[in-house]
Amino acid sequence: MAWPSLTYTELILYIPCLLLFFYYLYNIYLVFRLSPNWPLVGMLPSLLANSDRVHDWLAEILQLENGNFYLRGPWFPGMKLFVTADPADVHHILTQNFQNYPKGDEFVEIFEALGHGVFNSDGQLWRFQREKLQLTTSQKCFCTFIGKTTQEKIENSLLPFLSETVERSLVIDLQDMFSRLSFDMTCILAFGTDLGSLSTDFPAVPFAQAVDDATATIFFRISRPSAWWKLLKFLQFGQEKRTAKSRVVGERFIAEVIEKRKREMIEGRHACPDLLGSYLCDENIPNSNKFLRDSVVNFLVAGRDTNSSGLSWFFWALSQNQKTEEKILHELSSVHHSTTLEGMAIFDQEELENLVYFKAALLETLRLFPPVPFNFKSVLKPDILPSGSGVTPDMKIIPSAYAMGRMETIWGKDCMEFKPERWISESGTLRHVPSHKFLAFNAGPRTCLGKSMALTQMKMVAAAMVYNFCFQVVEGQVVAPALSIVLHMKNGLMVRVRRRTSI
């Protein structure tokens, strides 16, 4: 059969109709992909369509909805969520009306692995732990301990690890390397022992695995109806069974550490200013093993994955922005460094303190890739937020740090670009951005207690790495956020390493 031939007039009419039809289809697709709430099924279709990119999906909706929206659906029967990236609402929830927005009992159940530590408590218990932790970590001897042990770890583990990688021409996963490094560094600060997980043998450390399982379970519980994970827990099945097993491993390990340190104290052999050591010396801190265990576990979970996530994304950002790396190298070459026996440069914390561009690049990384991408809050009494949105006690509130870092209304039209310059004022100093706009370290009374510790460690590690080595990201890999409570990379970050020959 021959195709009917079209006249010019028909063609002129036909093409716009076709374009209109495709435009219409595309809009239906966008609505389907972005709209959170459908009749009867609520968020389910959109969530399924975006299950591999939940953080970006929430950010796109928040952009379209001017900063906040209600998320409902059968997915969480009877559960309503209010998601926000609106600075005024966030300021109200996290600071101005803080008392009305506790973490709540459901949070405590989901984060069961953290016991009743500082992350997982409200009211008096939280306040007591926060004050003690704040006092301990701000003491001069603890700050010196951070600088000294980080420098030793860089010199004795990190640089030798990278040198061996170069010698053996290995392709390594930087994310895994940072996870091992942060784990070792946080264990040293928490209880004075280096567990030596950073090595080119890539040793399996059962305690590290137990901590991984605990965080995986937290995400598993968040993303399922509570009745479902509670049933699995009761039946001891799947992820819940793994959790129970690794919990035994973790608790046994910590109990041994605590007993060992208590014995050392009695024998007068204790001189280490780590967290556990300081707590054991403090008469006002409960000496019960449970309190000490919860304190150590919370400190580990707080410090380990956050630092390693931040560093992984920082090196990813550098690999995409050659100019930024050059500017950081230029800044580093202007300050004094010491040299290891193998001829490698190491920087101490004071030397890095005043490097404005370097810090701006780190903050810019944490803006676009906040290691804690979202938070959970409960509502005690009904309230009206500054945006005019009403919230009630049957809702949970999710302030999204990931979305806030990508809001045009906060950062301008170039919000998706990596631009450390946005953090630098005209006079060349670092620009202050209030925490309810830059939410990476949370805001209000529950602001991260490890912010300066984290920035110190990240700067020392990144400076030694960038100055001594070049990292080439293996082509063809997809670098994207994983589904987790921490912003890990789905497939890691595979790199080849070379010694840097010139600055």
Nearer to ligand HEM by C-beta: 222 or 344? Answer: 222
Q: How far apart are CA 439 and CA 404, in angstroms?
A: 7
Taking CB under 6 A as the criterion, the residue among 46, 175, 324, 442 binding ligand HEM is 442
To ligand HEM, the closest distance from the beta carbon of 299 in angstroms equals: 5
Strand order in the sheet with 68-72: 68-72, 80-84, 395-399, 377-378
Nearer to ligand HEM by C-beta: 320 or 447? Answer: 447
To ligand HEM, the closest distance from the beta carbon of 94 in angstroms equals: 9
Run of H or E including 106: helix 105-110
To ligand HEM, the closest distance from the beta carbon of 430 in angstroms equals: 17
Binding residues with ligand HEM: total (CB under 6 A): 23
Q: DSSP of 149-177, one letter per residue? A: HHHHHIIIIIHHHHHHHHHTT-EEEHHHH
Angle, CA of 152, 153 and 159, to the nearest 5°: 105
119 binds ligand HEM (CB under 6 A): yes
Taking CB under 6 A as the criterion, the residue among 36, 87, 250, 371 binding ligand HEM is 371
Candidate ranges 144-152, 245-253, 438-446, 494-502; the one touching ligand HEM (CB under 6 A)? 438-446
Reduced to 3 states, what is the DSSP secondary structure of residue 72?
strand
Nearer to ligand HEM by C-beta: 449 or 497? Answer: 449
The Cβ-side half-sphere exposure at 343, using a 13 Å CA radius, reads 5
Nearer to ligand HEM by C-beta: 67 or 405? Answer: 405
Q: Residue type at 392? A: T
395 binds ligand HEM (CB under 6 A): no
Taking CB under 6 A as the criterion, the residue among 91, 446, 459, 488 binding ligand HEM is 446
Contacts 24+ apart (CB under 8 A), 65-68: 66/409, 67/387, 67/407, 67/409, 68/385, 68/387, 68/389
Candidate ranges 171-179, 391-399, 411-419, 439-447; the one touching ligand HEM (CB under 6 A)? 439-447
Nearer to ligand HEM by C-beta: 76 or 299? Answer: 299
Helix, strand, coil % over all residues of the chain, rounded to 5: 60, 10, 35
Q: How far apart are CA 408 and CA 405, in angstroms?
A: 9
Cross-strand bridge partners of residue 391: 383
Q: How far apart are CA 422 and CA 382, in angstroms?
A: 38
Q: Residue type at 8? A: Y
Query: Is 143 marked within a binding site?
Result: no
Distance in Å from the first CA to the final CA of the chain = 71
Nearer to ligand HEM by C-beta: 135 or 244? Answer: 135
Candidate ranges 146-154, 342-350, 371-379, 427-435; the one touching ligand HEM (CB under 6 A)? 371-379
440 binds ligand HEM (CB under 6 A): yes
Tell the residue number behind the tokens 């580093």, with chain if given: 332
Taking CB under 6 A as the criterion, the residue among 58, 62, 71, 133 binding ligand HEM is 133
What are the tokens at 147? Answer: 């600088």
- Phi-psi category of 415—alpha, beta or left, where left has phi over 0 and alpha has psi -120 to 50? alpha
42 binds ligand HEM (CB under 6 A): no
To ligand HEM, the closest distance from the beta carbon of 464 in angstroms equals: 17
Closest Cα partner for 178 from 365, 325, 304, 300?
304
What are the tokens at 174? Answer: 């930087």
Calculate the CA 249 to chain-centre distance: 25
130 binds ligand HEM (CB under 6 A): yes
402 binds ligand HEM (CB under 6 A): no
Q: How far apart are CA 308 and CA 458, in angstroms?
A: 9
372 binds ligand HEM (CB under 6 A): yes
Q: How far apart are CA 264 and CA 426, in angstroms?
A: 54
Q: How far apart are CA 501 and CA 492, in angstroms?
A: 27
Candidate ranges 266-274, 289-297, 408-416, 446-454; the one touching ligand HEM (CB under 6 A)? 446-454
Closest Cα partner for 383 from 114, 127, 101, 13?
101
Tell the residue number behind the tokens 């589904």, with chain if given: 483
What are the tokens at 303? Answer: 């410090």
Taking CB under 6 A as the criterion, the residue among 87, 102, 277, 450 binding ligand HEM is 450
497 binds ligand HEM (CB under 6 A): no
To ligand HEM, the closest distance from the beta carbon of 364 in angstroms equals: 13
405 binds ligand HEM (CB under 6 A): no
Taking CB under 6 A as the criterion, the residue among 61, 211, 448, 495 binding ligand HEM is 448
Taking CB under 6 A as the criterion, the residue among 454, 486, 489, 497 binding ligand HEM is 454
453 binds ligand HEM (CB under 6 A): yes
Residue nearest ligand HEM, CB atom distance: 450
**Footprint (CB under 6 A) of ligand HEM, residues 265-324:** 299, 302-303, 306-307, 310
71 binds ligand HEM (CB under 6 A): no
To ligand HEM, the closest distance from the beta carbon of 242 in angstroms equals: 23
Nearer to ligand HEM by C-beta: 84 or 442? Answer: 442
Cross-strand bridge partners of residue 339: 345
368 binds ligand HEM (CB under 6 A): no
Run of H or E including 499: strand 494-499
Binding site, annotated residues for heme: 448
- Feature table: binding site: 448
Q: Which residues bind ligand HEM (CB under 6 A)?
A: 118-119, 130, 133, 299, 302-303, 306-307, 310, 366, 371-372, 375, 440-442, 446, 448-450, 453-454
